[in-house]
Amino acid sequence: MIPRYFTAAAIVIIFISVFLLPKSSLKISIFDIPVKQIKANNPLEVNPLPVANFNYQNPQGITARSAIVIDSKTGVTLFEKNATLKHLPASTTKLMTALISLEKCSTDTIITIGEFEKEGTQMGLSTGDQITVENLLYGLLINSGNDAATALVTGCAQSPNNFTASMNQKAEDLKMKDTHFTNPTGFDDDPQYSTAEDLAKLANVAISNPLISKIVKVKSTVVTDFTGNKTYYLENINELLGIIDGLEGVKTGQTEGSLENLITKTTRNGNSVIVVVLGSEDRFTETQNLIEWAFNSYDWVNPSR
């Protein structure tokens, strides 16, 4: 029996999807969603629901070890490949670092830079610099600054162990069941791991924060220290910014062990998808392909109350 809250138009679309499309071409219909999920997630009752259309066919040529595409508003999975495979997260870790920093510090807190991480990507800090938490977050998320990450840890937490404990507690709160953090930068470490599925959850929560959402979509900018005398030039590593219609960031990551990682959010016509690729040989091309695939393969049906 078709639920009463669907409009006549939705009923027609779902009827076509379920009964007329070949089963092999159909990724998801409303009837594929468990009843418990419909009842548990209020967004499914009020947000447009992605339904596979006549263009649907499985994405091809995905080299990433792990990948997932989800509808941001409902959490419905549109595509997955080894989505629960534990993988080195690299600098996608910094989304969690940003969340915990904002929980422990106000954005206008001024941090005096002491010792900081000098390996890997940097925003350009020097010992003795005085800089606000907000500007450190710009350096963390745009330049993927490891120096910014460690500065936030020392400035906002009692100890590095206290900070990582908060990261892991937050992961538990977000039901990131296959995630564990040991450092805020994303450096390779066997006990530090996550999954495409978990990182999609993290990204969805992170970008619900207005400041993080604002920062991750910035292609390039300039920030200063508290005195205004020192300037930091920041350039986003995400090559898709300004190239893909509707792309809103989110975070890159790359190490020798992780290969190429990328999390993105893209919004078109009010509908948003989050794409995560981990261990890719070409993260930007594969992400672009998955974004276009999602919007070409799905229509969003508007249920009514």
Has residue 57 been placed in a domain? no
Using DSSP, state whether 266 is helix, strand or coil: strand
- Is the separation of the CB atoms in 247 and 240 below 8 Å? yes
pLDDT tens sequence across 126-152? 999 999 999 999 999 999 999 999 999
Token output for 98: 């940003």
Q: Residue count of the chain, please give it.
A: 305
> Quick one: CA dihedral 73, 40, 18, 6, positive or negative?
negative
pTM greater than the 0.95 cutoff: no
Number of domains in the chain: 1
Residue 45's pLDDT is what? Answer: 56
| pLDDT score of 198 | 98
Residue 27 falls inside a structural domain: no
Percent of the chain with pLDDT over 70: 85
Give one DSSP letter per residue of 10-72, joined into a string.
HHHHHHIIIIIS-GGG----GGGS-HHHHHH-THHHHS-EEEE-TT---------SEEEEEET
CATH number at residue 275: 3.40.710.10
- Choice among 3-7, 100-104, 228-232 with the minimum mean pLDDT: 3-7
Radius of gyration of the chain (CA): 20
Indicate whether 90 pLDDT > 80: yes
| Residue at 22 is within a domain | no
78, burial (CB in 10 Å: exposed 0-12, middle 13-18, buried 19+): buried
Bigger pLDDT: 42 vs 162:
162
Flag whether 36 is in a domain: no
Domain-embedded: residue 21: no
- Domain-embedded: residue 10: no
Q: Look up residue 70 and give its amino acid.
A: I
Query: In Å, how far from its chain's centre is CA 6?
Result: 30
The answer to whether position 75 is within a domain reads no
Where residue 303 falls among pLDDT bands split at 50, 70, 90? confident
Query: Is 66 within the bounds of a domain?
Result: no
Residue 256 belongs to what domain range?
90-291
In a 10 Å sphere around its CB, with 0-12 CB exposed, 13-18 middle and 19+ buried, how is residue 103 labelled? exposed
